[in-house]
Chains A and B, each alone.
Chain A
Amino acid sequence: MDARDTVKLAAVQLGEKKVRTALTIIMVIIGVASIVALTSQTAGESQSIQKSLGSLGPTAILVSPSGKTLLTSADVAEISSLPNVSSVTPIVTGSGTLTVDGVNQSVTIVGVSTNGLSEIMGNSTFLYQGSLYSDNTTPASAIGYDVAYSSSTEPDVQQVGAGETGTIQTASKSKIAVSIEGVLDEHGTSLISVDNTVFFSLPFAEVLLHKDSYSEILVKATNASSVTALTSLLEVVYGDNARITNTAQLASTFSSITSSTTTLYLIIAGISLLVAAIGIMNVMLMSVSERIHDIGIFKSIGFESKDVLVLFMLQAIFIGFIGGFLGLGTGVAASYAISYAGGLHSGPTGAVTPGSFTGGAGSGSFADRGSSGFAGAGGGGAVFVSSTSGSGGGFESTSSSSPTSSSSSSSTITPVFTLSVILESIAVAVAISIIAGIYPAWKASKMEPIDALRTL
């Protein structure tokens, strides 16, 4: 039997049961769409993490205090004197509420020198608007992109701009008037919260946050090959008094987190595909038993078993193929919709917490045993920034912001569609349809024409 005829006959048979065929195709669509949407989201997420890590550079090493240790300027001096050190950036972090024109928003507060800021941004030009603050105690700030574009309803309208003034309030201090000198470029999901952060000079932030020690020290090695040696040296110097983390370790930690999320998603998607496969098999078995008489006719007028086999297999493959393509389209659309709506990891209010990988409370469920424990400070802010609560291992959300005042609007994940995901999802759909179709088709092909003809 020639291929075109077989395809036509298979299509005719499917077309006779339009509703049933459509429902089965929908099952496949759901399965494939969930694979596509979930994998593209995780791929997008891991890409944005890798990018952020990349912007910090492969030479970044983070020194975070552990237990009762305080990091001071003496530590900065000591680290600077070590070999292979290119820069040392002390950072203080905290959280607070920024009020401009009567509008409150929860922000992460980071105190860092202007030179240090360019180390964090991984670039020497990063100003979107205005200028930077000066490295003295003036209450001047530079704000992250999302702080400027804070409205969730009008994400394209700038709410806060360079040159404006506002007040900042922290848990420990009453309102302090601050000027906004500049707005930073959009940085994306980042290890140090940038987009949702108000940056001050180090001395001002120390006063504002009541800190007499540093929250972190960001160290950059002279080159990538000296990172491991420098990391080991810092570990020797600090022992149990600080955690030393470098970009490579972070990258592997995050990739293991994303891969475990991916696995979870794939299990979910796999279950829906299994359901689809059972649906296809069910429909095919029904189709075969309804067509026994037709099979008898086909065979009596000279169609061979393999013709009948192919005829029924093709019907299953059609369902898989159409479902696969439509599922791919649906998945792509769904993935963008997820990103648009604020990401898979959005908290209960739907607001995305920048830099937070799991969103909101209970984020410890994705704890990674190998990690040294990152904690989100501020509005789920800088994952990089460690707390000293000592419960290493796992994420902690020390967010002090109330979800309702959170105004972060972007930092969503741009889904990534790789060619392999696209091809695989179609292939998977066709494969399950083949697997589900084999038995019914085989059953049909093995039927004796005389028995088949007797069945009405």
Chain B
Amino acid sequence: MIMPHYSVQVRDIEKIYHSGDITVTALESVSFSLREGEFAAIVGPSGSGKSTLMNILGTIDKPTNGEVYIDGVPISKMNGNQLAEFRNKKLGFIFQAYNLIAGLDAEKNAELPLMASPVSSDERKERADRLLGSLGLAARLKLKPTQLSGGEQQRVAIARALVNNPALILADEPTGNLDTKSGDEVIKLLRQVSKDRKVTIVMVTHNLDITKYCDRIIHIRDGRIEKQEVLK
């Protein structure tokens, strides 16, 4: 039974990689649910399957078995173009390596998801500028990624992830390349975003220190959920 107020429901997913004779079970009987606006952290040792899970939640990878519902929609039923549209409307991505487009300035990078949707260029620009402004980048709009610090680049990436008003933001080690101070700022920003905008956030991190900002911590080991902690 799908509970509509859940933003994310993961039902018994399994991910098996076959490379030659070797089979790697990256995920096994993973199930959990997240409420709208919940900020969840996924922690676990290297190779435990965190990124694999994120890619499946991000609809750019498919589970071998099981189903993922995002906003109540079963994503296994969609084809490539439907998934692209779905990602464009419902999801936002934040990567460890920022993954901005090098040739575009901060503003254009933040606008990018809206270029794939029917939003007028004026509105697009306005939304991107407003977001970048609220992230403290008002003076950086016309700078290229190489002219920005790591923390600034990640804030541009956050703006890009937010610009389409997504239901779910997926952040795989968003602070991995940042120093403690800018990492902390990024996490606080995400915390605030999930509160203010009721955006569900799933974040992978190795830094247990920053999980204190989260509502829920999912511990993964060897492709299985070891335990879940729900914080105040």
Contact = CB atoms under 8 A, between A and B. Distances in A.
Interface string A293-313: 110111111111101000000
A154 interface: no
Given A5-B121, A450-B60, A301 B112 contact: yes
A11 to B, nearest CB: 9
A9 B160 CA distance: 16
Contacts of A156: none
A108 B95 CA distance: 84
A305 B58 contact: no
A305 B55 contact: no
* Most chain B beta carbons < 10 A, residue from A296, A304, A305: A304
Contacts of A301: 87-88, 93, 112-113, 116, 160
A12 B116 contact: no
A456 B84 CA distance: 22
A265 to B, nearest CB: 40
Contact of A12 (B91, B97, B103, B164): B103
Contacts of B86: 302
Interface in A260-314: 293-294, 296-305, 307
A315 to B, nearest CB: 12
Contact of B116 (A4, A294, A304, A456): A304
Given A301-B112, A307-B116, A293 B99 contact: yes
Interface string B104-141: 10000000110111100100000000000000000000
Range for the number of chain A residues in contact with chain B: 20 to 34
A381 B20 CA distance: 80
Nearest to B85: A302
B103 A15 contact: yes
Contacts of A13: 103
A12 B104 contact: yes
B19 interface: no
Contacts of A294: 101-102
B95 to A, nearest CB: 8
A302 B81 contact: no
Contacts of A456: 97
A453 interface: yes
A296 to B, nearest CB: 8
Contacts of B84: 299, 302-305
Contacts of B103: 12-13, 15-16
Interface string B196-216: 000000000000000000000
B89 interface: yes
Contacts of A298: 112, 116
Interface in B24-58: 55, 58
A101 interface: no
A293 B60 CA distance: 14
Interface residues of B, number: 31
Contacts of A302: 84-89, 91, 113, 116-117, 164
A244 B92 CA distance: 86
A1 B115 contact: yes
A304 B85 contact: yes
B61 interface: yes
A1 B115 CA distance: 6
A182 interface: no
Nearest to A11: B103
Interface string B55-68: 10010110000000
Contacts of A307: 116
Given A297-B101, A300-B87, A301-B87, A2 B115 contact: yes
A392 to B, nearest CB: 68
Contacts of B112: 298, 301
A139 interface: no
Given A301-B93, A302-B84, A302-B113, A16 B61 contact: no
Nearest to B97: A456
A449 interface: yes
Contact of B121 (A4, A299, A303, A450): A4
B174 to A, nearest CB: 15
A412 B36 CA distance: 82
Contacts of B99: 293, 296-297, 453
Nearest to B90: A302
Contacts of A296: 99
Contacts of B88: 301-303
Contacts of B116: 1, 298, 301-304, 307
A302 B58 CA distance: 11
Interface string A66-87: 0000000000000000000000
B44 to A, nearest CB: 20
Contacts of B55: 450
B155 to A, nearest CB: 17
Contacts of A2: 115, 118, 121
A305 B82 CA distance: 11
A76 B159 CA distance: 97
A447 to B, nearest CB: 11
Interface of B: 55, 58, 60-61, 80-81, 84-89, 91, 93, 95, 97, 99-104, 112-113, 115-118, 121, 160, 164
18 contacts: A2-B121, A16-B102, A293-B99, A298-B116, A299-B60, A300-B60, A300-B93, A301-B88, A301-B113, A301-B160, A302-B85, A302-B116, A302-B117, A302-B164, A303-B88, A450-B60, A453-B95, A456-B97
Given A15-B103, A16-B103, 4 more contacts: A2-B118, A16-B102, A302-B85, A456-B97
The 6 closest A-B pairs by CB, nearest first: A302-B88, A12-B103, A449-B60, A450-B60, A304-B84, A302-B87
